[in-house]
C-alpha cells in the first residue's frame, strides 16, 4: 500500500504531488491556483482525506473482526465435530465436512495475516487523527487571515511539511472512499445550513 491514490478535489497535496492515481491535473491546478484560493483548495482536500481515512479505518477494523469471528466459529465447529464423531466412524461425508471446515479456517487465517487488517486499520486511524489535526490548524489559519486570504510563506511551509509527513506514513485511500467522504461532507454541510436557516 505504498502508492497513494490521486486527489480529485481542489489542489491535490501541497507540494504539487497528489494523494491518488490520476491527480497530475489536480497537482497542476494547485500550482496555478491564485494564493487566495489555494488554502481553501488544500483545506477541502484535507477534509476529504480526513473523512476518507476514518471510513477506511472502520472498514479495516470491521474486516478484522469478521474474519476473526469466522475463524473462531470454524475452528470450534471442527473441534466439536471431532468430539462428537464416534471413534472408528467411517462416514465419508462427515470426514469431508470436517476437513473442509478445517481447510477453510486455515485459509481464512492465512488471509487475515496477508491482509493485515488490524495494522491497516491502525495506520488509517493514525492518518485520520493526523489529518484531523492538520484540518483544524488550517481552519484556524484561514479564520486568522480574515478578509486577506493570502497565506504567509511560513504557515504555508508548515502546512506543506505536516501534510507531506502524514502522506509518507498514511496508507492510500481509493477514489470510491474519497467520493463517499465528499458526499458525507456535503451532507453534513447541508444539515448545518438547514439548522442555520
Give the pLDDT of residue 31: 53
Report mean pLDDT in 10-residue bins for the chain, 197 residues. 38 50 42 63 93 95 89 84 67 76 86 85 95 93 75 86 93 94 93 89
User: Helix, strand, or coil here: 164?
Assistant: helix
- The answer to the question of residue 10 being in a domain is no
Question: Taking the model in full, what pTM does it have?
Answer: 0.70
Domain limits at 138? Answer: 24-196
Amino acid 90: pLDDT: 63
pLDDT of residue 188: 92
Confirm whether 15 is domain-assigned. Answer: no
What total of structural domains would you count in the chain?
Answer: 1
Query: Residue 3: inside a domain, yes or no?
Result: no
Domain presence at residue 5: no
Amino acid at each position: 500500500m505504498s502508492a497513494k491514490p490521486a486527489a480529485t478535489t481542489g489542489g491535490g497535496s501541497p507540494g504539487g504531488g497528489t494523494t491518488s492515481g490520476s491527480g497530475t491535473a489536480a497537482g497542476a491546478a494547485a500550482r496555478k491556483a491564485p494564493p487566495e484560493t489555494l488554502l481553501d483548495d488544500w483545506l477541502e482536500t484535507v477534509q476529504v482525506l480526513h473523512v476518507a481515512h476514518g471510513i477506511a479505518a472502520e472498514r479495516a477494523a470491521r474486516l478484522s473482526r469478521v474474519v476473526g469471528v469466522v475463524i473462531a466459529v470454524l475452528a470450534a465447529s471442527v473441534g466439536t465435530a471431532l468430539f462428537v464423531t464416534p471413534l472408528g466412524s467411517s462416514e465419508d461425508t462427515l470426514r469431508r465436512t470436517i476437513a473442509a471446515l478445517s481447510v477453510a479456517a486455515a485459509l481464512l487465517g492465512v488471509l487475515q495475516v496477508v491482509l493485515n487488517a488490524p495494522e491497516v486499520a491502525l495506520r488509517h486511524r493514525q492518518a485520520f487523527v493526523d489529518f484531523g489535526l492538520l484540518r483544524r490548524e488550517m481552519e484556524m489559519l484561514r479564520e486568522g487571515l480574515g478578509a486577506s486570504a493570502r497565506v504567509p510563506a511560513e504557515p504555508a511551509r508548515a502546512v506543506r511539511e505536516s501534510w507531506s509527513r502524514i502522506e509518507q506514513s498514511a496508507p492510500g485511500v481509493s477514489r470510491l472512499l474519497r467520493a463517499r467522504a465528499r458526499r458525507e461532507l456535503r451532507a453534513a454541510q447541508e444539515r448545518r445550513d438547514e439548522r442555520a436557516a
